[in-house]
A = this chain, B = another copy of it.
Amino acid sequence: MTTAYELRCRECGRAYGNQPLSICEDCFSPLEVEFDLERARGRFTREAITAGPLNMWRYKALLPVAEDYVPTTPAGMTPLLSAPRLGARIGAKNLYIKNDAVCLPTLSFKDRVVAVALANAQAFGFDTVGCSSTGNLANAVAAGAARLGLKTYILVPADLEPAKILNTQVYGATLVRIDGNYDHCNRLCSQIAEKYNWGFVNVNLRPYYAEGSKSVGFEIAEQLGWRLPDNVVVPMAGGSLITKIKKAFRELVALGLVADKPVKFFGAQATGCSPISTAVKAGADGIEPQRPNTIARSLAIGNPADGPYAIKAIRESGGWAEDVSDVEIVSAIQELAETEGVFTETAGGVTTAVTARLYAHGRIKPGELTVSCITGNGLKTTDVLNGAYEQAVPVKPKMTEFAAWLDERTGELVEVA
């Protein structure tokens, strides 16, 4: 190729240069960005990365933006936390949390993909952008577009969580509530993008957008001291993230930044919307679309665009997929918060509960270096914890009242004096 990267059809390999397009005109398969890795070799080095900014743009040489692109918003570079207290509860001895619950700027991993997509929207000259979204993407697009002064239309299922709706509208984006689920929104966006020539980050800009997820994989490897883990547990909605973490690891190996080794990929879904995990468990290659019915609304994609690729990534790696109930999701949100001080949204509850089950079933061994990917913040889905905690009667601000309250509560003498 003559450029640093270009679009190629994932199936027939036809090259498309760079343009806002996501589907092959010949075989209707999805397009993907492919990099000229030899060309990147001199620029994508440990030294260059370490000297770069303290955010995902340190990996710019393998993100699809112009070489002279100047980022305007820090995004990514979230903590990789060791999780000994959660590990003790679920039988893991070498467990890490990749904590995108605190991803900048809008507290989900979608900030990564949106950062790349909006850079391309600007490069392609779009003055109006948008997306179909289950919430987190809406937040990220609205905030990112506000900062760039772009007009924004965002299509969401009408039943979305209030915090995610507000966290879209506050940035001045036009929110279009669709009388349907995510898959309805998504289909409509394809038509809208074409008719009005808008840049929809997860539709006509999707190949560029998806590359942003590689930054999760790059960060995990760098934060582990330039090595790959044994296992990665990843939540699946459209199925893209898990494939892109795998792609990031492959690119790191190809360019010699990490040693090659087997990495198993494990996918996590809610049972109420589990088309990918169902296929993995059944040994199927294709997706049987589902009608979502789960509190994990950010994962509620019944017909995942990258489902078949996610299945392939999991199976080829020797990994597995699991799905958990809504009750387990809520418990796992609480368990992760209580043990590691990380408050995640429902999707993170899914990942945590699935991680626990994978250890319980012996699919992950206690000592293996395992990274569990938390992708969004608990403040966005507070509704699922409604009623979970007592609202105790207020205590009068007097020492005698407090002491009486404490005695009653603890049933033991904690006084030291």
Residues of A within 8 A of B (CB): 54, 73-74, 77, 79, 81, 85, 99, 102, 104-107, 142-147, 149, 158, 162-163, 165-167, 169-172, 174-180, 184-185, 187-188, 191-192, 194-197, 333-334, 337-343, 377-380, 382, 385, 388-389, 391-399, 402-403, 405, 409, 414-417
Contacts and interface: CB of A to CB of B under 8 A. Distances in A.
A391 B188 CA distance: 20
Contact of A341 (B102, B163, B171, B176): B171
A81 B402 CA distance: 44
A394 B409 CA distance: 48
22 contacts: A54-B54, A74-B81, A102-B104, A143-B337, A143-B343, A145-B341, A170-B338, A170-B385, A171-B341, A171-B343, A177-B391, A177-B392, A177-B394, A178-B397, A179-B394, A180-B397, A184-B397, A188-B397, A191-B402, A195-B415, A377-B379, A379-B379
A222 B170 CA distance: 31
B337 A171 contact: yes
Contacts of A149: 85
Given A106-B341, A146-B340, A176-B395, 8 more contacts: A85-B147, A99-B105, A146-B341, A167-B343, A171-B338, A174-B409, A195-B399, A195-B416
A406 B170 CA distance: 20
A340 B340 CA distance: 32
What's the number of copies of this chain in the assembled complex?
2
Contacts of A143: 337, 341-343
Given A170-B385, A177-B395, A389-B169, A196 B343 contact: no
Contact of A170 (B73, B194, B337, B417): B337
A264 to B, nearest CB: 27
A196 B382 contact: no
B77 A73 contact: no
Contact of A397 (B144, B179, B379, B417): B179
A76 to B, nearest CB: 12
Contact of A394 (B178, B192, B398): B178
B338 A172 contact: yes
A104 B79 contact: yes
Contacts of A402: 176, 188, 191-192
B191 A399 contact: yes
Contact of A158 (B188, B394, B414): B394
Contact of A167 (B77, B81, B379, B394): B379
Most chain B Cβ neighbours within 10 Å, of A77, A81, A385, A394 = A394
A243 B187 CA distance: 54
Nearest to A179: B394
B74 A187 contact: no
A252 B256 CA distance: 40
B73 A341 contact: yes
Nearest to A178: B397
B399 A176 contact: no
Contacts of A73: 79, 81, 341
9 interchain residue pairs of minimum CB distance: A184-B397, A147-B341, A143-B341, A179-B394, A172-B338, A379-B379, A158-B394, A169-B389, A180-B397
